[in-house]
Every structure is written in C-alpha cells, then in structure tokens.
C-alpha cells in the first residue's frame, strides 16, 4: 500500500532540487549560451519529451556537438563560427535535435556502437568505441554500467573536462548524483557499483571540469568533486 506521507516526503526531498527548481530557473531566467572552457560552449533547454531542462555543448575547436538541443539563439548562432561537423551522443537516447544540426550543417551523427540498434530505421548514425579519438582533443571514455552504450568523453581543452551521459548528474547545479533507481533496471546497486568503478578509472585522466547531460557544468574542482563522490558512496555502501 502506498504511503501518501512517504510519497510527499520523496517529492519534497528529491523532486524540488532535482526537477522543480531547475525547471523554474529555466523558464524564468531563460539562460543563453555561455563559454565554460576555452572554445567549449554550454546551454540548456527544456527537453520536449521529458519536460525537464537538459544540457548541450558545442566543442568549437573540434567542431563537435554533444547531446544537442537547438539553443534559444537558434541555428544562426553557429553560422560564421567553426562549422559543426559531428553530433556525438553520450548515450543512444540523446539524439535530441541532432538531425536538425545534421540537416543544417552536414554533421555526422555518432554514438557508441552498442547503441546502434536504436537507429536501425534511421537516421544514419556511425558507431564509436571506447578509446577512440572522435576529433583532436576529444576521446571516448568507457562507462558501460547504466547501459552498454552509455559513454563519457574526455575533452583536452583548458585544464580538461569529462562529459557524462546518464551515468552521473548534477541536478539544479548542486551536488553530484546518480539518476533515480527506477532508471537503473533490476539491480540499481550493481549499476551504481559499476559506475563507481568507471569513475575511479577516470581519475587517472587530466581534467578539472565536469560536464553533464543532466545538470549544470562544474567548472573547476571537478576531479576533487568526483573523487569525493566516489569515496562517499563507497563508504555508504553505494
């Protein structure tokens, strides 16, 4: 039997910071594109299907878009800049407005080869593998926990950055967090353990910024925050 008080408590504790506050901020502030690292641009839009703000990125020196929705500034913002050449999905579900960018700029669509079945009926998407350099300064990092096709990207720009798909989030620009358990399949504890293993491997790389498909970037102190997140979750038993 559902406990209404328990449901209300979950909504208050988790719904406000994870969903409601970011949505209100997006609607009220209507933030535009901002450069978070040299040549790395970030923006948010409300996803038309899940009705929540999500993040997109343009790595201009590499001509590479990550999980893009069209920004408020429109496709016109990209004209006169280095032309986007690739749309990279950190997980197969993040096609978003990739086809619009492909049509406008001739971008190639890319995702992890384990997720290509999602596009059996189109659009045309080319697979990549962990360790592959997608463009100068952009390398695929293996995650393979929440889903075999969930990947991260290492960006060798500025002091370095890691871009996450669904494996790690930063709701409302607050602390680092996993996605809710109901999105982790039948064994959330095992998935979280696999994610922590992947995050520990990432700590060997050079980076200081974390970029999220779901949540605001953490610019500066990212490696320390990731290490502390892993240690804290290990101590709490995941």
| pLDDT tens string 137-191 | 999 999 999 999 999 999 999 999 999 999 999 988 899 999 999 989 999 999 9
In a domain, 2, yes or no: no
1 lies in some domain:
no
What is the number of domains present in the chain? 1
* Confidence label for 20 from pLDDT (cuts 50, 70 and 90): low
Peptide bond into 123 cis (omega under 30): yes
CA distances from 89 to 23, 69, 181, 229 (A): 23, 11, 22, 25
- Express as a percent the part of the chain with pLDDT over 70: 87
Contact 181, 195 (CB under 8 A): no
In this prediction, residue 16 carries a pLDDT of 44
Residue 227 structural domain: 13-235
Question: Which of 23-27, 40-44, 77-81, 102-106 has the least mean pLDDT?
Answer: 23-27
Give me the mean pLDDT over the 17-35 stretch.
64
Instruction: For Cα atoms 185, 187, 190, give the angle at the middle one, nearest 5 degrees.
Output: 120
Considering the domain boundaries, does residue 109 fall inside one? Answer: yes
pLDDT of residue 48: 86
What is the average pLDDT value for the chain, to the nearest integer?
A: 90
178-232 pLDDT tens trace? 999 998 999 999 999 999 999 999 999 999 999 999 999 999 999 999 999 999 9
Spatial distance between the Cα atoms of 29 and 173, rounded to a whole number of angstroms: 14
Q: What's the pLDDT band for 42 if we cut at 50, 70, 90?
A: very high
Answer yes or no: is pLDDT of 120 > 50.
yes
Domain harbouring 96, CATH code: 3.60.15.10
Higher confidence at residue 237 or residue 38?
A: 38
Give residue 49's pLDDT band: very low, low, confident or very high (50, 70, 90): confident
**Model confidence pTM above 0.75:** yes
> Within a domain: residue 3?
no
Q: What are the helix (H) ranges across the chain?
A: 4-10, 21-29, 98-105, 188-202, 222-235
Query: Which residues neighbour 151 within 8 Å (Cβ) at sequence distance 6 or greater?
Result: 90, 91, 112, 128, 130, 140, 141, 142, 143, 144, 165
Radius of gyration of the chain (CA): 17
Q: What is the pLDDT of residue 6?
A: 43
Neighbours of 61 (CB within 10 A): 16
Maximum CA extent, the chain: 59
Residue 7: inside a domain: no
pLDDT band at 14 (very low <50, low <70, confident <90, very high): low
Q: How far apart are CA 155 and CA 6, in angstroms?
A: 42
Q: Which of 2-16, 103-117, 177-191 has the highest mean pLDDT?
A: 103-117
Average pLDDT over residues 69-73: 97
- Residues in CB range of 209: below 8 A, 6 or more apart: 36, 37, 158, 159, 160, 161, 162, 217, 218, 219, 220, 222
Tokens, residue 143: 């995650």
Q: Band the pLDDT of 26: cuts 50, 70, 90.
A: low
Contacts with 181 (C-beta within 8 Å, 6 or more apart), sequence order: 188
């Amino acid at each position: 039997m559902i406990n209404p008080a328990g449901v209300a408590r979950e909504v208050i504790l988790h719904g406000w910071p994870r969903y409601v506050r970011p949505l209100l901020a997006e609607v009220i502030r209507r933030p535009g594109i901002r450069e978070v690292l040299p040549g790395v641009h970030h923006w948010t839009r409300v996803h038309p299907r899940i009705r929540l703000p999500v993040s997109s990125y343009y790595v201009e020196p590499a001509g590479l878009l990550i999980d893009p929705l069209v920004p408020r500034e429109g496709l016109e913002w990209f004209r006169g800049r280095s032309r986007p050449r690739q749309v990279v999905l950190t997980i197969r579900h993040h096609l978003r407005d990739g086809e619009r960018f492909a049509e406008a700029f001739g971008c190639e669509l890319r995702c992890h080869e384990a997720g290509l079945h999602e596009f059996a009926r189109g659009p045309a998407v080319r697979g990549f593998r962990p360790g592959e350099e997608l463009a100068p300064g952009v390398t695929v990092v293996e995650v393979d926990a929440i889903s075999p096709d969930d990947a991260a990207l290492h960006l060798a720009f500025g002091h370095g950055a890691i871009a996450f798909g669904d494996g790690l989030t930063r709701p409302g620009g607050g602390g680092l967090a996993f996605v809710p358990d109901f999105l982790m399949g039948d064994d959330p504890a095992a998935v979280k353990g696999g994610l922590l293993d992947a995050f520990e491997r990432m700590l060997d790389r050079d980076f200081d910024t974390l970029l999220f498909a779901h949540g605001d970037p953490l610019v500066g102190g990212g490696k320390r925050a990731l290490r502390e997140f892993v240690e804290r979750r290990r101590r709490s038993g995941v």
